Amino acid sequence: MKEGSVKKLNLNWHLVGLLPLVFGIISYIIVIIHSIPLWGLLWVCPFTAVATGIILLFLPSNRFVISALAAWIFFGPLMPALFETADMFQLNQLHHFMSVLALFVILYHWKEIWSTKGFFFGLTSFGAFVIITVNLSKGVVNLLDPFKKVGVPPMWIGIIFAVFSIVIFLWYKLGFKRVKKPKPQN
């Protein structure tokens, strides 16, 4: 098996991406129908659901992207699915469960598709997205429970996360490697 590819399975495991994609789009349609301000399109969970569907359907063999996606699902849709289950069975909230289902499928194939750089990119880009959108929208979107209790993180923290994301992406893309010092010859 060549580096960066996912093992071939008889079942097309990546087709599970259809579920979060469909339910993420349904969530967006409900937002648009109810004339919610355009900030409503930047809620992290439906955004993650749609991204999950697109990535699993079109980039299922990219280890970096799949690992970043796992971080987004873990820190986004998984948390409400676990801790805010009362509202999760509404049609506009089912994208949480569909994203978590996709996460379980991704984790099942963990050995074949894991990339530590990708996971750290997902972690930093998720933090950047949430902090920047909550600040730009003045708390309309992505104001998560921890932020409600302690206050919104300042915008500069989101910018630092964005810079870290860019550095990690460049590290992955350009393949920076540590230069080994040559051993002195006697």
Question: Is 168 within a domain?
Answer: yes
Question: Is 135 within a domain?
Answer: yes
* pLDDT for res 10: 41
pLDDT, mean of residues 41-60: 92
* pLDDT for res 1: 41
Question: Is 50 within a domain?
Answer: yes
Nearest Cα residue to 128 out of 161, 95, 103, 104: 161
Nearest Cα residue to 114 out of 69, 59, 165, 76: 69
Residue-wise pLDDT for 132-175, tens only, equals 998 898 877 876 655 566 677 889 999 999 999 999 999 999 87
pLDDT, mean of residues 6-31: 80
Whether the per-residue pLDDT at 42 is higher than 80: the answer is yes
The dihedrals phi and psi of 143, each to the nearest 5 degrees, come to: -85, 90
Pick 164 or 87 by higher pLDDT: 164
pTM for this model (two decimals):
0.83
Question: Is 183 within a domain?
Answer: no
Pull the structure tokens for residue 139. 């708390």
pLDDT class of 6 with cuts at 50, 70, 90: very low
Question: Is 181 within a domain?
Answer: no
Question: Is 184 within a domain?
Answer: no
Whether the per-residue pLDDT at 79 is higher than 70: the answer is yes
Question: Is 3 within a domain?
Answer: no
Q: Tell me how far apart the alpha carbons of residues 143 and 134 are, in angstroms, rounded to a whole number.
A: 6
Pull the structure tokens for residue 54. 């697109």
Whether the per-residue pLDDT at 80 is higher than 60: the answer is yes
* pLDDT for res 146: 55
Element (H, E) at 128: helix 116-136
- Residue 97 belongs to what domain range? 13-174
First to last CA, the chain: 41
Question: Is 1 within a domain?
Answer: no
The number of folded domains in the chain is 1
Q: Tell me how far apart the alpha carbons of residues 40 and 22 are, in angstroms, rounded to a whole number.
A: 17
pLDDT, mean of residues 111-125: 92
121-132 as b/e, with b when 16 or more CB fall inside 10 Å? bbbbbbbbbbbb
